[in-house]
Amino acid sequence: MANTTFNGPVRSESGFKQITLSNGTATDNFTIDSSGNVSGTGTMKMTGATNSVGVIESITAATKTVTSADSNTTYLLNRAAGIVVTLPTAAAGLNYSFIIGTTFTGTFSLDGASANDIYSTSSNLLIWDKDAPGTVSAKQFYADGSDDDKIVMDADTKGRFVGGRINCIGIATGGQGSATAVWHVDGIVYGDGSLATPFAW
């Protein structure tokens, strides 16, 4: 079929597909489904001005399992009694942000999908002492890069006060050492007392 030019919007109730035909068999390369979700096997390239808006979600339950489909979501942590967030298996390009919207009195834990999903040696969190007026009091903590697969804030010393932010980016599926997947984590959080590392395994 030759190219067709439409003068006006093209509408569909069931989505659109770009396909490749080979010996009568159609392969979907790019799909926009009936809800407007975009998927495909190629690389999406856009030129000109774009406005990409991420998703904001408030977590008020005791547990949250994040999926790869949730990539580019910012989570507001709003359960003082504690939250355990489990990440998906790390894959390059997945990214999430976590903002402490309510000071924790219980434990916040950010866990890899398994012991084989670890935080890279470059993963770090800067913890500022919130009760050090007139002074600069902060410590930077790094993951060990071998078996740290959790961030556990189970005490004020580990940065569980309101206002902290943690960014989590998947950087590899091949891993390092015995790991099969690797996350990079960085952020600034707020603690109190004798500041201590929140990285754990």
Tokens 């569980």, residue located: 160
Q: CA triplet 111, 113, 116: central angle to 5 degrees?
A: 105
pLDDT, one tens digit per residue, over 146-183 is: 889 999 999 999 999 999 999 999 998 766 666 778 99
Confidence at 1, pLDDT banded by 50, 70, 90: low
- Distance CA(84)–CA(200), nearest Å, equals 14
Q: Which domains does the chain have, with CATH numbers?
A: 14-42 (no CATH), 60-200 (2.60.120.640)
Residue 50's pLDDT is: 72
Residue 62 has pLDDT above 90, yes or no: yes
To which residue do tokens 């190629």 refer? Answer: 42
More confident residue, 48 or 99: 99
Q: Sorting pLDDT into bands at 50, 70 and 90, what band is 54?
A: confident
